[in-house]
Structure 1
Amino acid sequence: MSYELNRIEELCRERGWSHYKLAKEMNDSANNISNLFRRTTTPSIVTLRRVCAAMGITMAEFYKRDGISTVLTENQKALLDHYNVLDSRSKDKAMAYIKGLADGRYDA
C-alpha cells in the first residue's frame, strides 16, 4: 500500500473514522473510497486535497513525519502533480531519470 493510503488509514484511526465516515465527510460515495483502498494505488493530488479538507488539515500536515512539517516549493508541487498522473511504468522511468540526474549519470 502507498504511503498516502497508509497515512489516510492512520489519520482515520486517530479520528475513529471508518472509510464510510471519511466518504461522508468528503461528500463522496463509500464505493469510491473502498475502491481507492482496493486498488492500492497512490491517490491523486485532487483526492488527497479532498481528504485533507474533510479532515481539516493541510497537505503539509498530511505529509508531516516525526514532527517535521514538509513544505514544498511551487516546482516541487508541479513535479508531484505531473508524477501523479503517470502510470506505474512511467513513474519508474521518471524515478530512474531523476536519480540519474541527482547522481550525475545524466546531463540536465
Structure 2
Amino acid sequence: MSYELERIEELCRERGWSHYRLAREMDTSPNNIGNLFRRTTVPSIPTIRRICEVMGITMAQFYSTDGEQITLNPQQRRMLELYDHLDQTSKLRAEAYMEGLSAKGPADQT
C-alpha cells in the first residue's frame, strides 16, 4: 500500500472515521474511496487536497513524517499556491531567487 493510502487510513483511525464517513465528508461516492484502496493506487493530488480540506489539515501536515504540525500564515500559504502553478523551470528559478534574497544560501542551510 502506498504512503498516501496508509496516511489516509491513519488519519481516519485518529478521527474514528470509516471510508464511508470520509466519502460523505468529501461529498463523493463511497465507491470512489473504496476504489482507491481496492486498486491500491496513489491518490491524485486533487484528491489528497480534498481529503486534507475535510480533515482540516494542510498538505504539509499530511506528508509530515515527524508528526510535527506545520501552520502556515496567509502569506506563506499564498506563496505555496503561486509556487504550485509554476512549471518546473520556473520553480527552480523561484527557488534560486528566494535563496539569493535570503541571508543564507543553500550551502549555509542546516
TM-score of the superposed pair, with normalisation by structure 1? 0.63
Is the counterpart of residue 59 in structure 1 residue 59 in structure 2?
yes
Residues 19 and 34, structure 1, Cα contact 8 Å, conserved in 2: yes
Residue of structure 2 in register with 1:26 after alignment: 26
Secondary structure of the corresponding residue to residue 48 of structure 2: helix
Distance, in Å, in 1 between the alignment partners of 2:45 and 2:87 is 11
1:78 to 1:7, Cα distance in 2 relative to 1, 3 A? farther
Residues in 2 aligned to 1:39 and 1:4: alpha-carbon distance in whole angstroms: 13
Partners of 1:42 and 1:24 in 2: CA distance:
20
Residue-by-residue CA offset, 1:21-64 (whole Å, 9 max, x unaligned): 00000000100000011010100000000100110111001001
**In 1, distance between residues paired with 2:46 and 2:17?**
21
| Alignment size in residue pairs | 77
User: Relative contact order, CA 8 A, sep 6+: which one is greater?
Assistant: 1
> How many Å apart are 1:67 and its aligned residue?
3.0
User: 1:12 matched to which residue of 2?
Assistant: 12
Relative to structure 1, the CA distance from residue 8 to residue 78 in structure 2 (aligned partners, 3 Å threshold; closer, same or farther) is farther
**Percent same amino acid among aligned pairs?**
66
Q: CA RMSD in A?
A: 2.3
Please give the alpha-carbon distance, in whole angstroms, between the structure 2 residues aligned to 1:69 and 1:18: 23
Q: Which runs of 5+ in 1 are unaligned?
A: 80-108
- Structure 2 distance, partners of 1:52, 1:25, is 11
What's the counterpart of residue 38 of structure 1?
38
Q: Which entry has the higher C-alpha Rg, 1 or 2? A: 2
Letter matched to residue 21 of structure 1: R
Query: Given that residues 25 and 54 in structure 1 are in contact (C-alpha distance below 8 angstroms), is that contact kept between their aligned partners in structure 2?
Result: yes
| TM-score, scaled relative to structure 2 | 0.62
